[in-house]
Amino acid sequence: MKESEGAAPQAWTDMAASGTGSAAWPGQLPGGVSAIVATAIVVADMVGVGVFTSLGFQVKDIPSGFSILLLWVVGGLVALCGASNVTGFVSPIHDVAELAHRHGALVSIDAAQLAPHHRIDIRPASDPGHLDFVSFSGHKMYAPYGAGVLVAPRDFFAGAPEVMGGGAISIVTWDDTVWADLPDREEAGSPNVIGAVALGVAIDTLLELGFEEMLRHEVELGATLLARLSRIPGVGVLGGVESRLGGQARLGLASFVVDGLHHGLVAAALSHEWGIAVRNGCFCANPYVFHLLHMDKHAVDAVEGEVTAGHRKALPGAVRASLAPYNTAGEVDRIAEVLLDALRFSG
Ligand SMILES: Cc1ncc(COP(=O)(O)O)c(C=O)c1O
């Protein structure tokens, strides 16, 4: 739907209405309220509400005094996405880290979507905005064979390793197990050597290409993609079509829904008919996607029933086009043309 036509934005684009979106940026909240943003994530995690990625957390539902007290008493881990793989929103990770540390919590950044596009500054532990944990995946950085990275404080790995097995020990006797030094202690079993080498090469290649240059290109293409999609009647973009949020450029991707067409069908048509590789579904972020689709608990429960009964098609979702340094403006135009065609055929 074209927002410039004066029509009400599609439900799934209207983040602010549910207390999320730019209103949730810590820097923009008055005084004490900002602390709630960070604590809300921790509490939501603890009570099993689910942690919504990038700006999707619902501050208004959390009783502030309770959450701050809880965090102060038990400490905690504030976990958030560095960037959302659904909307491309980039989180203010150092601001959140500062808030978390002020309340005695550690911060863990899922940087799977961020790492291929932004340089990440972990910062020294003496810096209030430092990052305690950072994780990312090789497959999001164009590397094959599934290696991943976890950056964590050394003392976090004290004691026995999480997974025990070959290569994790220095010596085992009848009485004793002496664990190997890091990183071997945490890498039990046959190591994924090819994965690690491939990831190293991928990181070197990204550094050679230059993060600033790549990001500039991707963000420009991403803004064009959002603009093109906004002009197609019947297409709605998750998180809206603004290319910037809270002063930060959105990453070059768009997750969209097409009126009247199942996301699986749209993705299959783009791939098989036009050779455009996209992903569809909930992108490993089910609660966030349900939230962006404005599904209430009743709707989600109903879908859960269907899916657990084997009706996978009942799972709602979107189609995601992700842009990389090798993509061109012509390819972005092509996606838009193809979607227009698909909508014409769908009647
Ligand atoms: C933000 C984010 N987190 C987590 C993942 C999942 O990573 P993995 O497939 O390595 O578990 C992805 C992507 O696939 C992602 O984009």
Tell me the per-residue pLDDT of 15-39, one tens digit each, with 9 for 90 and over. Answer: 222 223 322 223 222 233 333 444 4
Cα–Cα distance, 154 to 117 (Å, whole number): 26
pLDDT per position as a tens digit, 180-206? 999 899 999 998 999 999 999 999 999
Residue 161 parent element (H or E): none
- Beta strands 235-237 and 253-258 are antiparallel
Residue 64, pLDDT score: 40
Cα–Cα distance, 189 to 167 (Å, whole number): 6
Cα–Cα distance, 17 to 239 (Å, whole number): 12
Tokens of 346: 């769908």
Residue 47, pLDDT score: 36
pLDDT along the chain (347 residues), means of 10: 30 28 29 38 38 36 43 67 93 88 88 96 97 96 94 90 91 95 92 95 96 97 98 95 90 96 95 95 93 94 97 96 97 96 79
Cα–Cα distance, 51 to 79 (Å, whole number): 8
Residue 18, pLDDT score: 28
For residue 206, give every residue at least 6 positions away whose Cβ sits within 8 Å of its Cβ, in sequence order, or none: 116, 141, 142, 214
Distance (Å) from CA 322 to ligand 1 centroid:
14
pTM for this predicted structure = 0.80
Residue 72, pLDDT score: 52
Which of 140, 199, 280 maximizes ligand 1 atoms within 8 Å of its Cβ, making it the mutation to test the pocket?
A: 140
Residue 245, pLDDT score: 85
The ligand 1 site (C-beta within 6 Å) comprises: 81, 85, 110, 112-113, 137, 140, 148, 284
Nearest residue (by CA) to ligand 1, atom 8, is: 137
Nearest residue (by CA) to ligand 1, atom 15, is: 112
Distance (Å) from CA 287 to ligand 1 centroid:
15
Of 148, 251, 249, nearest to 203 (Cα)?
Answer: 148
Backbone CA torsion sign across 203, 204, 206, 212? positive
Backbone CA torsion sign across 35, 38, 39, 41? positive
In DSSP notation, 185-204 reads GG--SS--HHHHHHHHHHHH
The residue whose two tokens read 């596009």 is 117
Residue 75, pLDDT score: 59
Q: For 97, phi and psi rounded to 5 degrees?
A: -60, -40
For residue 186, give every residue at least 6 positions away whose Cβ sits within 8 Å of its Cβ, in sequence order, or none: 157, 161, 162, 163, 168
In DSSP notation, 163-176 reads S--TTSEEEE-SS-
Active-site entry in 194, 284, 299, 329: 284
- The four Cα atoms 260, 262, 265, 271 give a dihedral, to 10 degrees, of 100
Of 314, 312, 311, 318, nearest to 293 (Cα)?
Answer: 318
Q: Is 284 a catalytic residue?
A: yes
For residue 183, give every residue at least 6 positions away whose Cβ sits within 8 Å of its Cβ, in sequence order, or none: none
Distance (Å) from CA 113 to ligand 1 centroid:
7
Query: Hey, which residues does 235 pair with through a beta bridge?
Result: 258
The closest-lying atom of ligand 1 relative to the alpha carbon of residue 146 is: 10
The answer to whether residues 150 and 133 touch, using CB atoms and an 8 Å cutoff, is yes
Nearest residue (by CA) to ligand 1, atom 11, is: 137
Residue 252, pLDDT score: 97
Q: What is the CA radius of gyration of the chain?
A: 22
End-to-end CA distance of the chain: 16
Cα–Cα distance, 341 to 229 (Å, whole number): 13
Query: Hey, which residues does 80 pair with through a beta bridge?
Result: 109
Cα–Cα distance, 52 to 211 (Å, whole number): 27
